[in-house]
Amino acid sequence: MDIDVRQLRSFVAVVEEGSFTDAAIDLGVSQTTVTRNVAALEAALGARLLHRTTRWVELTAAGERALRHARRVLDALSDLAKEVRTGSRVVRIGYPWSALGQHTAAFQHGWPAAFPHLTLQLVKTNTPTAGLLEGKTDLGILRHRPDTKALHYEVVGEEPRYCAMVSTDPLAHRKSVTLAQTATLPVAVDLRTGSTRLSLWPEGARPEIIQTDDVDDWLTAIGSGSARGVTAASTTHQYRRPGIVYRRIRDAPPVVVYAAWIASDPPADCSTITALIAGLYGYRSGRD
pLDDT in tens, 171-187: 999 999 999 999 999 99
pLDDT on residue 287: 44
Tell me: do 210 and 229 sit in the same domain. yes
* 61 inside domain: yes
Residue 54's domain spans which residues? 5-71
Are 118 and 90 contacting, i.e. CB atoms less than 8 angstroms apart?
Answer: yes
pLDDT tens digits for range 230-273 = 999 999 999 999 999 999 999 999 999 999 999 988 988 999 99
pLDDT tens digits for range 39-81 = 999 999 999 999 987 667 889 999 999 998 999 889 888 877 7
Nearest CA to 6 among 82, 58, 70, 53?
Answer: 70
Show which of 45, 71, 97 is a domain's final residue. 71
Tell me: do 92 and 234 sit in the same domain. no
Domain count, the chain: 3
* 78 inside domain: no
List CB contacts of 44: < 8 A, sequence separation 6 or more: 1, 2, 3, 7
pLDDT on residue 87: 53
Tell me: do 169 and 224 sit in the same domain. yes
Tell me: do 183 and 225 sit in the same domain. yes
Tell me: do 193 and 246 sit in the same domain. yes
Tell me: do 31 and 53 sit in the same domain. yes
| CA 83, chain centre distance (Å) | 25
Tell me: do 120 and 204 sit in the same domain. no
Angle between helices 31-45 and 61-86 (to 10 degrees): 110
Tell me: do 122 and 265 sit in the same domain. yes
* 122 inside domain: yes
* 81 inside domain: no
pLDDT on residue 235: 95
Q: Is 22 helix (H, G, I), strand (E, B) or coil?
A: helix
| Average pLDDT value for residue range 93-103 | 93
Tell me: do 170 and 249 sit in the same domain. yes
Taking 60 as the threshold, does the pLDDT of residue 288 lie above it?
A: no
pLDDT on residue 286: 46
Tell me: do 165 and 247 sit in the same domain. yes
Report which of residues 163 and 117 the model is more confident about: 163
pLDDT on residue 146: 84
Q: What is d(CA 196, CA 231) in angstroms, rounded to the nearest whole number?
A: 7
- CATH number for the domain spanning 181: value is 3.40.190.10
Percent of the chain with pLDDT over 70: 95
pLDDT on residue 75: 83
pLDDT on residue 209: 94
* 107 inside domain: yes
* 76 inside domain: no
* 288 inside domain: no
Nearest CA to 67 among 133, 157, 152?
Answer: 133
Taking 70 as the threshold, does the pLDDT of residue 285 lie above it?
A: no
pLDDT band at 152 (very low <50, low <70, confident <90, very high): very high
pLDDT band at 134 (very low <50, low <70, confident <90, very high): confident
Tell me: do 107 and 237 sit in the same domain. no
Vertex 127: Cα angle to 124 and 128 (nearest 5): 125
* 77 inside domain: no
- CATH number for the domain spanning 36: value is 1.10.10.10
- pTM of the predicted structure, to 2 decimals: 0.71
Tell me: do 167 and 213 sit in the same domain. yes
Beta strands of 40-125 (E only): which ranges? Answer: 50-52, 57-59, 89-95, 118-124
pLDDT tens digits for range 5-23 = 999 999 999 999 988 989 9
Angle between helices 104-114 and 270-281 (to 10 degrees): 140
